[in-house]
Amino acid sequence: MSQNKTVSIIGTGSYVPEKIITNKDLSKMMDTSDEWIFSRTGMKERRICASDQATSDLAAIAAERALKDANIYPKDIDLIIVATLSPDMFFPSTACFVQDKIKAHNAFCYDIGAACSGFLYAMEVARAQIISGVVKTALVIGAEKMSMFLDWEDRSTSILFGDGAGAAVLQANNRSKGVMPAVMHSDGTLADLLWTPGGGSKNPISHEMINKKEHFVKMQGKEVFKHAVVRMGDSVLETLSINKISVEDVSCFIPHQANIRIIDAISKRLGVKDRMYSNIEKYANTSSAALAIAVDEASKSKVIKKGDYVVLTVFGSGFTWGANVIEWDKEI
């Protein structure tokens, strides 16, 4: 095995549902307004699945687009990882459903549950498995049907989220530094600041649980905000230090798309406002899909180009957080 083997992203793809819910639409459903939402979140609209769309449906479309972008066939995929907190069902894994939909029958499949951090976590797991020689080509997907977990009478959470999926194809090479080792962290002592308390083995589905709306997302927004700003900023500096790259060397920073105020606070701390990518205005927070969609759009719009250093950073329920650096070497 080559000692200088690296891993590159050779293709990306994304998909968002057709249905758009604007801030104005939300103002007809609850006590809010376009100005109130936009000034606090940076969001103008979000995409919502049709009732017959499952997370695997979104993931499969994003996957097919990533494979096309990479110019490879489903049979070439050795591994499929789906990061999601809204799986089709408890089991089997959503990745297995995606495998069937795209006919990638040579791949082994599993899901990762790290909430909004999931796509970066999945990238790092795939990178490590490629470096180890277990697989050559991996398909990593972040996909969510967040709308199924939202209480549409609660403006503190329902305005924040949307549905969508993004995917990336990772493959072994030694052309560049590629996807460099990530830093990843977790703190389970703070789980109750952002969670869905009902529906699992601890608090199973029951009439009482549903009547209490414990199957919906619950969040203590101010506390989450404070932790997100600190943790993402710290992880960016940590991964840059580990990989011996300076802030000045980075062409583009792509953070988890949670809230424009969080993104702005990180930008200010790092002094990189002109290099910080955001598409939150169009899609809101799509959890594990957010980073994947942003990377695909940044690539397709040529915001990031071959030879650029790109930093990705995430923060999610758990708490989970992390960051990595990529030397972008994908050919347009």
User: Catalytic residue at 279?
Assistant: no
Candidate list 243, 252, 256, 324, residue with the active-site label: 256
Candidate list 23, 259, 285, 324, residue with the active-site label: 285
Candidate list 49, 96, 116, 252, residue with the active-site label: 116
Q: How confident is the model at residue 1 (pLDDT cuts 50, 70, 90)?
A: very low
**DSSP β-bridge partners for residue 161:** 285
254's tokens: 């792509």
**pLDDT confidence of residue 175:** 81
**pLDDT confidence of residue 321:** 98
Q: What backbone torsions phi and psi does residue 79 show, to the nearest 5 degrees? A: -145, 135
User: Catalytic residue at 285?
Assistant: yes
User: Catalytic residue at 256?
Assistant: yes
What is the DSSP secondary structure assignment for residue 182, as one 8-state letter?
Answer: P
Say if residue 25's pLDDT is above 80: yes
Cα dist. 130→102, 137, 138, 173, 301 in Å? 21, 7, 8, 10, 28
Length of the chain as a residue count: 332
* Burial class of residue 188 (count of CB atoms within 10 Å of its CB; 0-12, 13-18, 19+): exposed
Query: Within 10 Å of residue 266's Cβ, how many Cβ atoms?
Result: 24
| pLDDT tens digits for range 263-274 | 999 999 999 999
**pLDDT confidence of residue 3:** 54
Residue ranges with strand state E in 49-163: 79-83, 108-112, 137-144
Q: What angle do CA 235, 87, 137 make, to 5 degrees?
A: 65
Say if residue 208's pLDDT is above 50: yes
